[in-house]
Amino acid sequence: MENRKTIKTLLVSAAVLLVAALLVFVINDSLDKKPVETQKYCVAMGTVITEKIYSDKDASDVCDGVEKTIKNLEGVISRRDESSVIYSLNKNGKVKTDEKTADVISRCGEIYSDCGGAFDITVGKLTSMWNIGEENARVPEEKEIKDALTYVDGSLVKTNQGAVMLGEGQKVDLGAVGKGLACDYVRDYLETTPIKSAVISVGGSVLLFGDSEKDKKWSVAVRDPSGESDEYMGVLSLSDCCVSTSGDYERVLESDGKKYHHILDPKTGYPSDSGLKSVTIVCDSGFLSDALSTACFVLGVKEGEKLLRKYNAEAVFIDNENRVYVTDGLISSFSLTSEGYTLAGE
Ligand code: AMP
Ligand code: MG
C-alpha cells in the first residue's frame, strides 16, 4: 500500500522530475542532423526512468521493450516484491534461481573481497532498519546497529550452479547495483533491435548506448552535490559506456538537526564518512559502475582509486571541501563548469 502510494507520488511528480531525478543527466546530444528522438518516462525501481531513443522513425515499441526489461529485472531483484528471487532468498536463506541472477550475486562477492568489505550486499538488515528514503526512516539505537552488524559479512554468501545461500540470519540488498544492472539488461535488449543510439537513465545510472551521430560524444552533466537537483558542476563527454553516481544527497534522513545519508559503512553500521559528497564512475558495465560508485563512496579517494585500477574504471570524486579528483583516463573528457569547485592538483 505504502509502496503504491510512493509510486503514485513519483508518477504525479514525474514531469517535474524529468531532469531533477537524474544524478547524471544528458545535457544535449550535439547532433548536426537530428534523427527522430522517441522519449518515454516511466517509474520503476523506485525512480524515474528516462528513455531517449534515436532512429530514423518512431521507436515507441522499443521504448516499451526497455520499460518491460527494467520491470522484469525489478521483479527478480526487489527486496519488497514477495514474488522476487531476492525476497525468497531473504526469507529462506537460500534460493534456486537462474545462472544469470546467481552470477550477479557471485560478482557482488568478488567486489566485496576486492574492496575489503566497503561494498557488501549483506547490509540488508541494516538498510531496512535505517530505511533511509522511505517514510518510516529512523536512526536506530546503537544496540540495534551492533546486533545487525553481526549479520553483515559478504564472505558467507555462497553460489553454486544457480543456487544461492546466505549465512545464518543474513539479508541481502541489491540497491547498490540494481540500477546499473538495469542498464546492462537494457543494453542486451537494445542489441536485439535495430536501434544504434540511445540514452537510458535509471536513477543514478545512465546507459549511453552507441555514439551520438557522426561519432560525436554525449554531454553528460555531473550533478552539483550541494546544489539543486538540476544543477551541475561539470560535464563529461562520453559515448558507448555506463555512468553511475553515488551521492550523499540522494536519500537523506534529518533527525535532531543531523543529516544521515543512505550509503552505509558496513564496518560501523552508520552512514559512511569518508569525506566524499559524491563519486561518479564511468566504465563499460552498468553493474560495475554502480557497484564501484558505492564501494568508492565508502572507501574515499585514495583507496577508491586503487580499486578502480583493478577494474579499469574511471571516476570523478567530489570531496567535502569541493575538491574534484578525476582519474587519469577521464581527465581529457571532463570539464569543470562551476566556480565553487577546484580540480585537485591544480
Ligand atoms: P548507491 O546509491 O548505488 O550507492 O546505492 C545505495 C544503496 O545500496 C542503499 O540505498 C542501500 O540499499 C544499499 N547500500 C548501502 N550501503 C551499502 C554498502 N556499503 N554496500 C552495498 N550496498 C549498500
Ligand atoms: Mg551503486
User: What cell was used for 299?
Assistant: 572507501
To test the pocket of ligand 1, the residue of 105, 112, 114, 127 to mutate (highest count of ligand atoms within 8 Å of its CB) is: 127
| Amino acid 215: pLDDT | 60
Residue 93 has pLDDT above 90, yes or no: yes
Enumerate residues 6+ apart whose C-beta is below 8 A from 291.
107, 108, 111, 119, 176, 177, 180
| Amino acid 205: pLDDT | 97
To which H or E segment does residue 180 belong?
helix 178-190
**Between helices 60-77 and 178-190, what is the axis angle to 10°?**
140
The percent of residues above 70 in pLDDT, for the chain, comes to: 89
Task: Measure 262 CA to ligand 1 centroid, in angstroms.
Answer: 7
* Closest by Cα among 303, 180, 307 to 245: 180
| Amino acid 35: pLDDT | 84
| Amino acid 32: pLDDT | 52
Report d(CA 175, CA 108) in Å as an integer. 12
Task: Measure 118 CA to ligand 1 centroid, in angstroms.
Answer: 10
* Closest by Cα among 129, 159, 160 to 142: 129
Mean pLDDT of 342-346: 84
* Closest by Cα among 255, 291, 289 to 270: 255
C-alpha distances out from residue 72 to 58, 103, 181, Å:
24, 17, 12
Span 270-323, pLDDT tens digits? 999 999 999 999 999 999 999 999 999 999 999 999 999 999 999 999 999 999
Mean pLDDT of 4-12: 42
Span 145-184, pLDDT tens digits? 999 999 999 999 999 999 999 999 999 999 999 999 999 9
| Cell 555512468, residue located | 243
The atom number, within ligand 1, closest to the CA of 118 reads 19
Average pLDDT, the chain: 91
Question: What does DSSP say about strands 334-336 and 314-319: parallel, antiparallel, or unpaired?
Answer: unpaired
| Amino acid 24: pLDDT | 46
| Amino acid 111: pLDDT | 98
Quick one: pLDDT band at residue 22, thresholds 50, 70, 90? very low
Quick one: pLDDT band at residue 345, thresholds 50, 70, 90? confident
Ligand nearest 203 Cα, by number? 1
Higher pLDDT, 33 or 204: 204
Ligand 1 contacts (CB < 6 A) are 119-121, 123, 127, 173, 175-176, 204, 246, 250, 262-264, 266, 290, 293-294, 297-298
